Structure 1
Amino acid sequence: MGKYFQEDIETASREEIEQWQNEGLVSVVKRVYENVPYYRDLMDKAGVTPDDIKSTADLPKLPFITKDDLRDAYPYGLLAVPLKDCIRIHSTSGTTGRRVVDFYTKKDIDMWYDGCARAIVAAGGTDEDVCHIAYGYGLFTGGFGLNGGSQKVGCLTLPMSSGNTDRQLQFMTDFGSTILCCTPSYASYLAESIEERGLKDQVKLKAGIFGAEAWSEEMRHDIESKLGIKAYDIYGLTEIEGPGVAFECEAQNGMHICEDYFIPEIVDPETLEPVPDGQIGELVFTSFAKEAFPLIRYRTKDITYITREKCSCGRTHARVHRLMGRTDDMLIIKGVNVYPSQVEEVLIKQGMPANYQLIVDRVNNSDTMEVRVEMTPEMFSDTVSSIEKKEKDIVSALKSMLGIYAKVKLVEPKSITRSEGKAVRIIDKRKI
């Protein structure tokens, strides 16, 4: 196996990619208009019919769909095929109200696993590798997606699921895991645990495929140096498919979108008008190749930008830059937009671990932000004055990054709850 899983697709010409997308869009719009009353109503309200859609240039004529639509149409309202053709569902964690569900036909599952297999090969994976999957299994898409991709590549697949760190480390050392798949915050935790237990020499990892959370370039370097690996970003959403919608190659310079399945757009989050390549905005996807649950112009709430410049790896599919945050995890504090990833960048530059929490509150009608950061065991044994100095250094570094004052509190090692799924970074008491 070379450096591509499906070379003819991954290195197709832009003309071919555009042809797939134009034909796919025309077909899916017709299909949902005829088979999904929810979509037909949305399109009728927007005054658009399938005949108005001739190519991707007509995308802006179509209405957006959001997570609220998915909740309103729950459970079966957006299904585009007969139920007997569906073989599985996955679902989001449903932290806010009704769950969001995705349905899959056999072909949808196959396509999804191909995307994940491309990601594993792009990270250097072959049939000689031992792929250690510490994403959650079950309704969450992470475990199943990478599991299916790993088997397609021919790796020995360890379906570890998340949690039980002792067992993770035992299997990692006993079976010689070479590729680790999990959230970046859990990778960081595993790296700490390996160091603490003196297992570094027994770990054979060479690559990590980390997603499901926004993480900074600083955190990447931190994980890479602690685990002695190359760390690759992977992107996906349950609603669109799961992980493998986009993935990094060896250039580690943006994630290649599987454009034979998805049409990406970037829109201005305020005006919802499309913006040109290279400009930051909200990522929108149309999953034209999905059979059971195609979504048209789905607003992801993820903030990033797209580039179609040639990549050194030879892949021709557009790249999406690592996520800069979400329109819904953006905090507005004293009128300033603050993303957790900005805070993380400052902390890692200051030599702090990537385990932190932002506590936002409103006192006397004014917003306050406290950043709680764990100390390393070495720092914890430092003098009180050196800890206070470190806090002051972080306060001023945050002030120059964000333009606002944030209180900083260094707390003892391991006192912030570890996440084996997604890290809880923000506690916003203003909404409570």
Structure 2
Amino acid sequence: MYWNREAECMSRDRLQEVQLKRLKKTVERVYNSVPHYRRVFQAEGIEPGDIQSLDDLSRLPFTVKQDFRDNYPFGLFSVPQNEIVRYHSSSGTTGKPTVVGYTRNDLATWSELMARSLVSAGATRNSVVQNAYGYGLFTGGLGVHYGAELLGAAVIPISGGNTQRQVMVMKDFGTNVLTCTPSYALFIAEVIEEMGLSLDEFKLHAGIFGAEPWSENMRQEIERRLGIRATDIYGLSEIIGPGVAIECEEKCGLHIFEDHFIPEIIDPATGEVLPYGEKGELAITTVTKEALPIIRYRTRDITTLTVEPCLCGRTHVRMAKVTGRSDDMIIVRGVNVFPTQVESVLLEIGETEPHYQLVVTRKGSLDMLEIQVEVSERMFSDKIKRLEELEKKIHSQIDSILGISAKIRLVEPKTIPRSEGKAKRVIDKREL
């Protein structure tokens, strides 16, 4: 099923024609209306007329998170304030918040992309969508909300939290599509089990989960415990919010909506553009946004891209599930460690709960990694020998996957904090 078949299935040649036309217009817009871009373009000796092909995109400078902070709050906007009809922003917990704005056309584009995403995940105008993403300055909640309304589905704007109430509403309102972070989906499954309810009492058949990296094993766990098809969605506030990319029914990568965004994979260390199939950092250029057009934004998300044809019929490039972030990634004794690597091991072993944290400390000059893993009630009440065997098994697998030794600490059920939004997987106690 498609929401916009013409756009989602256009030929690659036609798609590149559309991209180039829109890229030229965007580059001209930012050069003429955003002092930051005019300054960095001129520093590189670039003018809008120099962009004559899609390959010329690589000549343009990157945009990074710090650029938003340096131009806080509205310095990257390309339209007058009276054309802005919506603001969103990050929490600003690590400095000044990232502020984004939308014109009416931007909101219409966002709704269109989210309608595409919902249909790709199996939603229809007859769906009841329980939207447990956070509402407010975070883009997730309202992004899903307006896309579902454009589709014609019924939306339950429940936001996050009060999980027992979430479950009650889900059962009583006949929710069939759930949208939230994957870690919160697992928490909802846990509460359903604690309340003694059967999946037969629910109408759930699909879930759209994003805002944090999650593994294929975690998908299987969510699908098993909620009895649904779990679909990965990707987006970020700086680009538009959720709806930049989503999986189709084939679950073999997330289609990036290339008529609105041009993706590149770059080497995180050098910024060099890498060919399709190679793993690196995703950079995205927006080509239809009015209020906040962004050139070559370094997302810090690690993935790969492919243009191999997809069985679903969509022609847009596919990105692999994000394995982690180059800035959230932790380096322990010279080794890059992503939480999703640990998650995959734990879920594959299958004798623990899918709740864990990585705690990094420094003893003298040596980094120490402790992985705290929550065990099930059944396992925790078992013989100490069984727990010791499980600990050794996890240690061996982690050592094999990560290539470094980590201390494994099994903790009691319900002791690792639950999250209604993004799960906090890493606690770095080093004084770096």
Residue matched to 1:377: 377
Residue matched to 1:118: 116
Residue matched to 2:268: 269
Selected match of 1:59 from 40, 53, 57: 57
TM-score (norm 1): 0.98
Is contact 2:164–2:191 with CA below 8 Å preserved after alignment?
no
Q: CA RMSD in A?
A: 0.9
- For residues 21-100 of structure 1, the aligned pairs below 5 Å read 21-100=19-98
Residue matched to 1:227: 226
CA drift of 1:197 comes to: 1.3
3-state DSSP class of the match of 2:106?
helix
Selected match of 2:126 from 128, 149, 152: 128
Is contact 2:74–2:99 with CA below 8 Å preserved after alignment?
no
- For residues 208-223 of structure 1, the aligned pairs below 5 Å read 208-223=207-222
State the one-letter code of the partner of 1:59. L
Residue matched to 1:154: 152
- For residues 172-321 of structure 1, the aligned pairs below 5 Å read 172-199=170-197, 200-321=199-320
3-state DSSP class of the match of 1:233?
strand
CA drift of 1:93 comes to: 2.2
Residue 402 of structure 1 pairs with residue 402 of structure 2 = yes
CA drift of 1:56 comes to: 1.4
CA drift of 1:182 comes to: 0.2
% identical aligned pairs: 53
3-state DSSP class of the match of 2:17?
helix
Q: Any gaps of 5 or more consecutive residues in structure 1?
A: none
Residue matched to 1:416: 416
CA drift of 1:232 comes to: 0.3
How far apart are the structure 1 equivalents of 2:269 and 2:377?
A: 45
Runs of 4+ in 1 over 3 A off after TM superposition: none
Is contact 1:268–1:274 with CA below 8 Å preserved after alignment?
yes
CA drift of 1:46 comes to: 1.2
CA drift of 1:376 comes to: 1.2
How far apart are the structure 2 equivalents of 1:37 and 1:364?
A: 47
CA drift of 1:377 comes to: 1.5
How far apart are the structure 2 equivalents of 1:178 and 1:198?
A: 20
How far apart are the structure 2 equivalents of 1:51 and 1:431?
A: 48
Is contact 1:247–1:257 with CA below 8 Å preserved after alignment?
yes
State the one-letter code of the partner of 1:364. G
CA drift of 1:378 comes to: 1.2
Deviations 1:244-277 (A, max 9, x none): 0000100011001111110000001111110000
Deviations 1:166-209 (A, max 9, x none): 11011100011000000000001111111121222212110100
CA drift of 1:308 comes to: 0.7
3-state DSSP class of the match of 1:354?
strand
State the one-letter code of the partner of 1:244. G
CA drift of 1:355 comes to: 0.8
Is contact 2:262–2:286 with CA below 8 Å preserved after alignment?
yes
- For residues 387-398 of structure 1, the aligned pairs below 5 Å read 387-398=387-398
3-state DSSP class of the match of 1:108?
helix
How far apart are the structure 2 equivalents of 1:104 and 1:83?
A: 10
Deviations 1:405-427 (A, max 9, x none): 11111111111111111100000
Is contact 2:181–2:211 with CA below 8 Å preserved after alignment?
yes
Is contact 2:63–2:296 with CA below 8 Å preserved after alignment?
yes
CA drift of 1:123 comes to: 1.1
Is contact 1:25–1:55 with CA below 8 Å preserved after alignment?
no
TM-score (norm 2): 0.98
Deviations 1:337-393 (A, max 9, x none): 111110111111111222100000111211100000111111121122211211111
Q: Any gaps of 5 or more consecutive residues in structure 2?
A: none
Is contact 1:251–1:313 with CA below 8 Å preserved after alignment?
yes
How far apart are the structure 2 equivalents of 1:55 and 1:168?
A: 50
Is contact 1:136–1:421 with CA below 8 Å preserved after alignment?
yes
